[in-house]
A and B are shown apart, each in its own frame.
Chain A
Amino acid sequence: MNNIEEKISALYDGELSEAELEEILLLIDDDPKLQKKLSRYSLITAAMNSEMNNVQSISSRNKDRKFNFWISNTITAAATVLITFFAINQFDLNRMGEDLSAKNQINIAINSQEAKDLANRVEEKLVDHVMHVINNPQNDNVTPYDIDLRNVGYSRVSPKSRTYNNGNKKFILRIEKKDLGIKKVRNWQHKDKMIYVVPLQDGRVITLYGNIDQESVTQIANTIKK
Chain B
Amino acid sequence: MVKNSNNDDSLLIKKAQDGNERAFNLLMTKYYPRVYGSLYSFTKSKEDSEDLAQQTFIKVWQQIKSFRGDSAFFTWVYRIAINLAKNHFVSSAYKKDKVNLSADDLEIDVPSFSNPEIDLMHDESLNKIKTYVEKLPESLKTAFTLRETEGKSYEEISIITETPIGTVRSRIFRARENILTFISEELVDE
Contacts and interface: CB of A to CB of B under 8 A. Distances in A.
Interface of B: 5, 7-12, 15, 20, 22-23, 25-26, 29-34, 36-38, 40-46, 78-79, 82-83, 85-86, 89-90, 94, 113, 117, 119-126, 129-130, 133, 145, 147-149, 153-154, 169-170, 172-173, 176-177, 179-180, 183
A55 B31 contact: no
B34 A45 contact: yes
A44 B113 CA distance: 14
Given A13-B8, A15-B8, A44-B129, 9 more contacts: A9-B176, A14-B10, A14-B11, A40-B183, A46-B126, A48-B149, A76-B45, A84-B89, A111-B83
Contacts of B169: 6, 9-10, 15
Nearest to B183: A40
A154 interface: no
A38 B29 contact: yes
Interface in A76-129: 76, 79-80, 83-84, 110-111, 116, 119-120
A146 interface: no
A53 interface: yes
A14 B9 contact: yes
21 contacts: A5-B173, A9-B172, A9-B176, A12-B30, A29-B25, A39-B117, A41-B30, A43-B183, A45-B148, A46-B36, A46-B121, A47-B129, A48-B145, A49-B34, A54-B41, A72-B45, A79-B44, A79-B89, A84-B90, A110-B82, A116-B38
B31 A42 contact: yes
Closest 4 CB pairs of A and B: A14-B8, A51-B37, A54-B41, A46-B33
B122 to A, nearest CB: 4
B126 A38 contact: no
Interface stretch (A20-28, A162-170, A199-207): A20-28
Nearest to B125: A47
Contacts of A79: 42-44, 85, 89
Nearest to B86: A83
A75 B154 contact: no
A159 B22 CA distance: 68
A135 B41 CA distance: 23
Contacts of A111: 78-79, 82-83, 86
B12 to A, nearest CB: 7
Interface string A36-77: 011111111111110111111111010000000000100110
A97 B42 CA distance: 35
A48 B133 contact: yes
A75 B41 CA distance: 10
A192 interface: no
B29 A52 contact: no
B60 to A, nearest CB: 15
Contacts of B29: 35, 38-39, 42
A189 B30 CA distance: 38
A51 to B, nearest CB: 3
B173 A9 contact: yes
B41 A55 contact: yes
